[in-house]
Each structure stands twice: as structure tokens, then as C-alpha cells.
Amino acid sequence: MTPVSTRLVRLLNMVPYLKANPSITYDEAAADLGVTRKQLQQDLDQLWMCGLPGYGPGDLIDFEFSGDSIKVTFSAGMDEPLRLTSPEATGLLVALRALVDIPGVVDPQAALSAIAKIESAAGTVGHDHTHAVAAVDERAPIESDTAAAVRAAVRDGRALNIEYYSASRDTLTSRVVDPIRVVLVGDHSYLQAWARDAEGVRLFRFDRIVSATVLDQAAVPPEPAKQAPPDTSLFDADPALPAATLLLAPTATWMLEYYPMRILEELPDGYHKASMTYASEEWMCRALLGFGADVRVLEPESLVSRVRESAAAALAAYSELSG
């Protein structure tokens, strides 16, 4: 259910919006306002009963409905949209600028255009409007074809065929998914989608989606999957998954940005002790061996033994070959 405060803001802005777009169709207005046609009709019915104190017939907001179009014939003084306060505008600008560089969340060019308009409308520019011009002329980050395709599929409710690199299994797989939404976890954006092969909801990190093709079929995730919140247990150190305690050398601190890790302790000389969850001990062992001396596993003991034994076996094989 939509919060009352959210609907109130929409209602207060709807009249000036309709005044600025006379004879707009129901479908066009619903799309611009981000509501269904049914919700738009309910909002119009609500507005029709709102007016000035006294609530006489001439005081109520009035509309003219001609065919499939809507026209405001009396606004009851609601002619201007709500204005942002300076703190509200600042918060919105900071959020938009942060989202511009995160793939798949917003259209970068549209976001920069919105930033310029908000700066101008909120009066954050000087009399010469140089800041607004700079925002308009600012070059938007180039959005990859993959990110654009995923964002379009989420927006239009279309199925996707994606090539995805699974870091936990070190494999590249092709799968058909039904997009649900784009979510942010930490500093990364993810596509939350129904994976048809696994018959379950999965999170696909944008920078690991190698390619994406929008299919000519509607996305049909099960309704319970659409309504459920994203499962971010892997990133919250889910106690159901095993976790390794690692000692990272200064040359390996890049891993803190690339893998879902939790820093346990910052040590002298740039070393870090960190915790990392994993689904497969076999994959974790291979990954740790690939890092060489830059990463040392401290716990659990079973993983320590497996890494030690695998390293010893590799050295023995090299010795045999050299002999």
C-alpha cells in the first residue's frame, strides 16, 4: 500500500502537471506520474472532491474529460508544483550524482539533465547561471550496452538472456532470467531476477554480467518472488554459510573492493584481517592458492589443511617435472 505522504505529494503536484499538459491522455499521464491507469483514476476522483474552504460547487477542483484526455478547467489555486527546500535539493543532488556512476540504476544522461534542472529550480546557481550551464554541458559517463539492456528490460518488464561470470565458481554461464528490480548492496549494483534454470531468485552483479540480450517475451517472475525483499544474506555474513578468516598483505587490499568481505582488524604495515563467506571449499582453496603469498588463510582449520595439502601437492608435481 502506498504511504499517505507519498500519495499526498503526488496529488499536490498532479494539478499543476495537468495544467501544464492540457488534454494529455490517461496513459501518457499515468506513465509520467509513475502510476497505473487505475491509480490515476482514483487520484483524479480524490482531487475532484478537494477545493477551497466552504467547498461550494465553484470552489472544487474541476476537470474536463473528453474521450481519453484530461484537462484541468479549475485549479482552486493549485497552480504551482511543490518547491524543494535547500536541504532537500542538496540531498537529492548528492544522491543523483552518486547514482550516475553506478551501472544500471539510472540513465546517466537523464540524471545529469535532472541535476541541472534541480540546481536551477532550487536557486543553487549564481546570477550568471554558469553552474547550470556546466551541469548541462557535463559529459555523462558512457553506459555500456549491457547495463543499458538490463535497465531497459527491468523498465519494460522483458525477459533477458545473460552471460554471467560467477566468481564463487569461476565459470561463465548463459541463462534466461526474468528481471524484478535493480538493487544496491554496498558499492555495487545488482540485478535481482528469477533464474529460470535454478527456479529461484538470484542477484547478478552488474560488473559480472558479460552480455545481455532483451528477449521478445514478457518477464514472468512468480508473484511471491516479486513481492519478497532482496536476499542479501551473502553480503551480511550469513551464519548458514562458512566463512574464512584471511590475512591480507598490503598488495592484496584490492580484494576488499572486489569480494564480499568484512574487515575484522587493521594491522600494522598495511595488513588486514578479514572475513569472507564462500559456498564451495574447493573453489575457495583454488582462489587462495592463486593469490600466493599475498593472502594467508587463518581459519577454519579444514580450509587451512586443504590449502596446505594442495600447495604441497603442487610443489611435488613441479619437483617431479623438473627432475
Say if residue 317 is in the same domain as residue 254: yes
Q: What is the mean pLDDT of residues 64-88?
A: 72
**Is position 223 within any domain?**
yes
Contact 139, 133 (CB under 8 A): no
Beta strands in 45-157 (DSSP E): 62-66, 69-74
User: Tens digit of pLDDT for each residue in 268-278?
Assistant: 888 999 988 88
235 in a structural domain: no
Q: In which band, very low, low, confident or very high, does the pLDDT at 128 lie, cut at 50, 70 and 90?
A: very low
- Sorted by sequence, the CB contacts under 8 Å of residue 171 that are 6+ apart come out as 165
Do 255 and 294 reside in the same domain of the chain? yes
Please report the DSSP string for 91-108 in residue order. Answer: HHHHHHHHHHTSTTTS-H
Query: pLDDT per residue over 3-47, tens digit each?
Result: 555 666 677 778 888 888 888 898 888 888 888 888 888 888 877
- Nearest 10 degrees: CA dihedral of 184, 188, 189, 194? -90
Confidence of residue 298 (pLDDT cuts 50, 70, 90): very high
User: What pLDDT is stored for residue 215 in this prediction?
Assistant: 94
Q: Are 157 and 219 in contact (CB under 8 A)?
A: yes
| Residue 79 included in any domain | no
Is position 181 within any domain? Answer: yes
Q: Single out the residue in 181, 200, 229 at which a domain terminates.
A: 229
Specify the pLDDT at position 6. Answer: 64
Asked if pLDDT for residue 129 goes beyond 50, the answer is no
Comparing CA positions, the residue from 223, 124, 215 lying closest to residue 176 is: 215
Q: Is there a domain that residue 81 lies in?
A: no
* 300 lies in the same domain as 279: yes
Q: Residue 76's pLDDT is what? A: 65
Q: What angle do CA 277, 280, 285 make, to 5 degrees?
A: 90
State which of 126-130, 139-143, 189-193, 278-282 shows the largest mean pLDDT: 189-193
Task: Count how many domains the chain has.
Answer: 4
Among 182, 201, 229, where does a domain finish?
A: 229
The predicted model gives 251-265 an average pLDDT of 80
Q: Is there a domain that residue 225 lies in?
A: yes
DSSP codes, 183-246: EEETTEEEEEEEETTTTEEEEEEGGGEEEEEEEEEE----HHHHHSPP--GGGGT-TTS-EEEE
pTM over 0.75: no
User: Among 74-83, 152-161, 190-199, 245-254, which stretch is predicted with the lowest mean pLDDT?
Assistant: 74-83
**Beta-sheet pairing, 69-74 with 24-25:** antiparallel
Cell of 233: 544474506
Interval 194-215 mean pLDDT: 88
pLDDT of residue 68: 83
Residue 222 belongs to some domain of the structure:
yes
- What is residue 32's predicted lDDT score, i.e. its pLDDT? 83
Region of 287 on the Ramachandran plot (φ > 0 left; ψ -120 to 50 alpha; else beta): alpha
104/63 same-domain check: no
Candidates 139, 162, 165; CA nearest to 151 is: 162
Q: Is residue 212 part of a domain?
A: yes
> Which CATH number covers residue 44?
1.10.10.10
> Do 156 and 113 sit in the same domain of this protein?
no
For residues 223 and 248, membership in a common domain is answered with no
Closest CA to 155 of 9, 17, 25, 31: 31
Taking a C-beta distance cutoff of 8 angstroms, is the pair 124, 135 a contact?
no
Confidence of residue 296 (pLDDT cuts 50, 70, 90): very high
Question: Which 8-state DSSP code applies to residue 60?
Answer: B
**Pseudo-torsion of CA 224, 229, 230, 236, nearest 10°?**
-130
Task: Provide the β-strand partners of residue 252.
Answer: none
Picking from 179, 206, 229, the residue at the C-terminal end of a domain is 229
Q: Output the pLDDT for position 263.
A: 84
User: Which residue bears the cell 485549479?
Assistant: 75
Domain range enclosing 109: 86-137
Residue 266 pairs in a beta bridge with 272
223 and 260 inside one domain: no
- Give the residue from 269, 270, 287 showing the smallest Cα distance to 278: 287
130/159 same-domain check: no
